[in-house]
Amino acid sequence: MENGQRDQNEALLSGARSIGVELGQRELGLLLRYAELVREWNQRINLVSRKDIGNLVSSHIVDSLAGVPVLKRLIGGDQENKAVSLEGQARSRTRDDTAPAHPPLKAGEPSFDCSARGLAQDMARDDTAPAHPPLVMDLGSGGGLPGIPLKICLPDVEMALVESTKKKARFLETAVGELGLPGVTVVDRHSRELEKDPRHRGKYDLVTARAVAELNDLVMLAFPFLKTGGRLIAYKGAKTGEETAGARGMLKRIGGVVEECHGQSAGDTDKTRYIVVVRRSG
């Protein structure tokens, strides 16, 4: 293995581990191949800022993976954090289940192992996952961030990558085909047009968005696609507190609530990334 490839492997593995995600060989290989595709296409279309393409793994792919433990928990499959046996699950169905189902992540919580072995163990322990594959929309997907890294680590979700720029949408189609990712649809339409489509309006369990809009505007873009009880997973930066406070009044009017705000540093960057979870309550 050449030094450059070894460095990429280590940066991805250590960066993912720093945010609680253990990558198996399948995930590592797919993420590295995805990075190659982004670099190749970035010479022709602006998927990632050219001055930042050297930080593709640490600043973009690892950053996208920060949503894996959050999505995994919200779709009900992370039994490591619950430590509930099948017998305990059966007993719990006869008891009151009104306690919050999705407590915020805390420092030191068990990591999510998205290797084949880790996924198999989760499946063996869990009989509470939704009967249908969770439906996830990556809104304003651009070059597939965070949607493609999330799909690689959460292969059972059905993912719609929404990107209205035709050239970027063509890249997404190419990447999905090259990586062999099933259950992914590329939608090359603007969200304002798409929200009128009954095939998409109110259909999604989760909507993810990274570098799309300020939270106040992002909620208005995302909520039409969410089911009641569905959640927006918003990747945010330094102005998270200000944006969250600014959206509070509007959320109250339209029936939404900020459930949690989880911040951490990813990889070797000193920037703190926040993931804000907003639930559509009405």
- In whole angstroms, what is the distance from residue 187 CA to residue 183 CA? 13
CATH, residue 126: 3.40.50.150
Please give the pLDDT value at position 52.
Answer: 86
**What's the domain range around 71?**
3-92+101-280
Q: Give the total number of structural domains in the chain.
A: 1
**272 membership: H or E segment, kind and range:** strand 272-280
pLDDT of res. 268: 53
Half-sphere exposure of 83 (CA within 13 A, CB side): 3
Per-residue pLDDT at 131: 60
Per run of 10 residues, the mean pLDDT along the chain (length 282 residues) is 76 93 97 97 93 90 95 70 36 37 39 49 45 91 98 97 98 98 97 95 97 95 97 95 94 95 69 92 84
Q: Are 115 and 27 in contact (CB under 8 A)?
A: yes
Integer Cα distance of 122 and 155 in angstroms: 13
**Per-residue confidence (pLDDT) for residue 191, from 0 to 100:** 94
Burial class (CB in 10 A: 0-12, 13-18, 19+), 250: middle
